[in-house]
Amino acid sequence: MLNTTRQVGAAVGSAVVGALLQNRLAITLHDQAVSHASALPPAYRDQFVKAFSSVAANGFQIGTGQNGAKLPAGLPPAVQQQLTTLAHDVFVSAYIDAMKQTLVLPIAVLVFTAFTALLIQRRARAEREAAEREEVRAAAG
């Protein structure tokens, strides 16, 4: 029973953390794209932000070998390099920000669990001490 409870808790906990990470990543990708877009020529800013804002709708299919956003044909090589570098910076910054926010949940659960375990130990100790006092009183007569 304990093993099954532990496994179910781990599966549910992982799913919750994964869903929270996905949600936070969708939001931070947009925010980071907006903040990094100012480094681009004005003609490319809106498309850059729109590409990162639509990533969540595309199921986060981004990165090497994925079918996420692609650079339009005919871009000057300097702009291609700048877009590639900024896209990498946006994703890394967004992922780090999303992970920081996501880790708050498991940390809070661990703190809560540790606190409740301490309460259980204190209650058990108090019950043992009360039983010992009763034994001393009974022996004293």
The per-residue pLDDT for range 40-99, each reduced to its tens digit, is 888 888 888 888 877 766 666 655 555 455 666 777 888 888 888 888 899 899 999 999
- Does one domain contain both 81 and 112? no
pLDDT at 133: 85
- Does one domain contain both 94 and 134? no
Domain that holds residue 27: 2-101
Residue 3 reports pLDDT greater than 70: yes
- Does one domain contain both 97 and 107? no
pLDDT at 140: 78
CA distance to 36, 118, 119, per residue, from 113 (Å): 40, 9, 10
**pLDDT tens digits along 101-131:** 999 999 999 999 999 888 887 777 778 888 8
- Does one domain contain both 114 and 92? no
- Does one domain contain both 64 and 117? no
pTM above threshold 0.75:
no
- Does one domain contain both 7 and 35? yes
- Does one domain contain both 107 and 96? no
Q: What are 86's two structure tokens?
A: 């900024």
pLDDT at 14: 93
- Does one domain contain both 36 and 24? yes
- Does one domain contain both 25 and 79? yes
pLDDT at 67: 47
pLDDT at 70: 67
User: CA 53, CA 48: separation in Å to the nearest integer?
Assistant: 9
Per the structure, the count of domains in the chain is 2
User: CA 29, CA 35: separation in Å to the nearest integer?
Assistant: 10
Q: Contact 40/86 with Cβ under 8 angstroms? A: yes
